[in-house]
Structure 1
């Protein structure tokens, strides 16, 4: 009986739906304050244009230069073979056993002799230079420019040897690309040019030919990192993929996921009471993915106005991409939620979330 009495007196009342919404609203206000502070800092900071490059880009660059050199070599060999075939064909036409030379070869023998004589005289004339006094003077080629080029090349090699390991410099030299003769500033300029003019268009071309077929943000990230491409180039990938709507949609989703990741991580880091962590995460997810009841109009996207302002500013600063309301209306919120949980490490209870409501998430 005492046990039953203890249970009766110690029984806790379950929180009502209105009480849960009050808790979520209070936690959401806390997340909104952090978002306002982040938006202010985002508007004040300058666009980051650092020339950071992944090491995979260097490997792809060297491979690209080697392929170009090989293709040029094969082309020259092919042209040489064609020229040799043409010469052999002409020889066969002029030399016919038992009949001597054809009439075409004997038609104007004098002109052929004159042409050969003119060629020899012009060749001899090119070796001498007639002065105003009538004396001929031999022309000597200038060797100053090659010497200066050799000095610059050797200086660049010494600069690279100072910053690279001996084994790395040897591999670079053995690649036969000539990169070991460039200065560090020239290498950076050439690498950025390769990144903009070759690497990014080649990625989009492979997407179009279905040689690469990303199905979600994780595979898209793997494809880009394997080629040494930064995820900050997603905005440019969208612009290059004008005829690939599925690639554009995937890139927009990935940019939104990466943007929301910063907000969720900031809210988690600012939460001191771990007992309120689940409630805080639910509140920030409602703020990012829920549909506001009173602050939403039909002409604007179905998202909180503060979240929309922050998202547009973030994508413009980090990805140089102008997000429009039409693009956001096509966003699949479940895909955003899945990518967000994967990147932040959030585990949700399996249930059907009503994404069209103001509070699709709550503390269990």
Structure 2
């Protein structure tokens, strides 16, 4: 990747920094807001295996055609030589052994050369479909883009339908949002395709509920993160409790002058590279001044749920059902949302049917959630 750079640390070890893209960008998401929409390593491995199998099959067919052609043209001569070699048993045996050894060596060399050619052909440029200027001839750049497009089409045309079919046949049966995410990643599917997978499971109520709850939680997670970015540190607890009350309770509408659309604010931030103005506002002379009102207080239950529906349509291309608020499994959703944002709530019995089930004192802690990749042995995981 272009952003990647290597350094030698003071401990004489070599380090790679800014290694954000080790796989190519998803050709299905090439917009300005999809800079880090990349293909998963599991998908790249599966695609390379399929392409290598196709290549080996086509080469075997070509070899069979080439071997059948001389046999058909020289059939009589071969039979005569065979009769002669049958009479001369001793010398011919040693010669045949030498010939077989030479053929074995040639076959091994051909296999190694074929493997090398296959590995050379099935390679991807992680810098295609980016804003960086690519090196090489236009033909090479077009070939790199074509290979990435093929891998992206393999995801949408082969992997997604196969995974939906496995779900319908109950060969893959996720129990909650976490196992669903693991199954998606194992098959090389990014979570941004969860809406397309959910559309194929409408006729299965238990899977449909899992997908709906997971999409709602992920949409709420993004909206809550935007609220926390505009909140002062001493107001993090009240902001989280207010958001949870809007999500699980019934917070009434507030005056329009203090209301704010979190989703629109998020879109404006992504459109322009603005400096963070957390809890501040710009005055006429250009200086920043503290704001007296908290932005999270402008959020109510009706507005939050409408933004969740809008965000799910925007990010996951999925239309949440109209009765979403009644379909949400509150206990599992609370646990899932807390794990995704790193929040810890007090262990007590909550009245989730109340208008304000959460208090500021219920928010015990907030820890950062860091995405990481831990190598896992697939054989031991399946035991």
What's the TM-score once normalised by structure 2's chain length?
A: 0.50
**Structure 1 322/286 Cα, relative in aligned 2: closer, same or farther at 3 Å?**
same
Post-superposition shift, 1:264?
Answer: 2.3
Could you tell me which residue of structure 2 aligns to residue 230 of structure 1?
A: 190
- 1:19-168 → structure 2 map (5 Å cutoff): 48=33, 52-66=38-52
Which of the residues 222, 226, 234 maps onto 1:266?
Answer: 226
Structure with larger RCO (C-alpha < 8 A, sep 6+): 1
Residue 318 (str. 1) matches residue 308 (str. 2): no
CA RMSD of aligned residues (A): 3.5
Structure 1 position 279, deviation (Å): 2.5
- Deviation, structure 1 residue 325: 1.1
Partner of 1:5: none
* Distance in 1 separating the partners of 2:116 and 2:199: 34
Aligned-pair CA distance for 1:242: 3.1
- Tell me, in whole angstroms, the C-alpha distance in 2 between the residues paired with 1:344 and 1:312: 19
Cα distance in structure 2, aligned partners of 1:205 and 1:239: 12
Deviation at 1:187, TM superposition (A): 0.8
- Residue of structure 2 in register with 1:245 after alignment: 205
The residue that corresponds to 1:166 in the other structure is none
Residues in 2 aligned to 1:222 and 1:349: alpha-carbon distance in whole angstroms: 28
How far is 1:283 from its partner?
Answer: 1.3
Following superposition, the deviation at residue 171 of structure 1 comes to 6.7
- The answer to whether structure 1 residue 304 and structure 2 residue 301 are counterparts is yes
Instruction: Tell me if structure 1 keeps the 8 A contact 2:249–2:355.
Output: yes
Mapped partners of 1:290, 1:198: distance in 2: 42
For each residue in 1:224-249, what CA deviation from the matched residue of structure 2 results, as whole angstroms up to 9, or x when unmatched? 12222111111100112233322222
Stretches (4+) displaced over 6 A: 69-74, 176-182
**Could you say if the C-alpha distance between residues 284 and 212 of structure 1 is closer, same or farther in structure 2, counting changes exceeding 3 Å?**
same
Answer yes or no: is 1:358 the counterpart of 2:344: no
Inter-partner Cα distance in structure 1 for 2:116 and 2:158: 20
How far apart in 2 are the matches of 1:351 and 1:253? 23
Aligned in 2, Cα 1:269/1:63: closer, same or farther, shift over 3 Å? same
Post-superposition shift, 1:346? 0.9
Q: Distance in 2 between matches of 1:73 and 1:334?
A: 57
Larger radius of gyration: 1
SS of 1:229's partner is coil
Tell me, in whole angstroms, the C-alpha distance in 1 between the residues paired with 2:54 and 2:204: 28
State TM-score, norm by structure 1.
0.52
The question of whether the paired residues in 2 share the 8 Å contact of 1:238 and 1:248 is answered with yes
What SS is found at the alignment partner of 1:183? Answer: helix
CA shift, 1:339, in A, is 0.7
**Counterpart contact for 1:316–1:322, Cα < 8 Å:** yes
Q: Which has the higher helix share?
A: 1
SS in 2 for 1:256: helix
Query: 2 CA distance for matches of 1:346 and 1:70?
Result: 52
* 1:321 CA displacement: 0.9
Q: Distance in 2 between matches of 1:172 and 1:310?
A: 52
**Structure 2 residue matching 1:215: 3-state secondary structure:** coil
Q: Which runs of 5+ in 1 are unaligned?
A: 1-45, 81-169, 296-302
Q: Which of the residues 231, 248, 266 maps onto 1:289?
A: 248
Equivalent in 171, 175, 181 of residue 221 of structure 1: 181
- Give the Cα separation in 2 of the matches to 1:241 and 1:323: 14
* C-alpha distance in structure 2 between counterparts of 1:354 and 1:196, whole Å: 43
What's 2:13 paired with? none
How far residue 69 of structure 1 moved from its aligned partner, in angstroms, is 6.4
The CA deviation at 1:291 is 2.3
Q: Does the 8 A contact of 2:52 with 2:118 survive in 1?
A: no
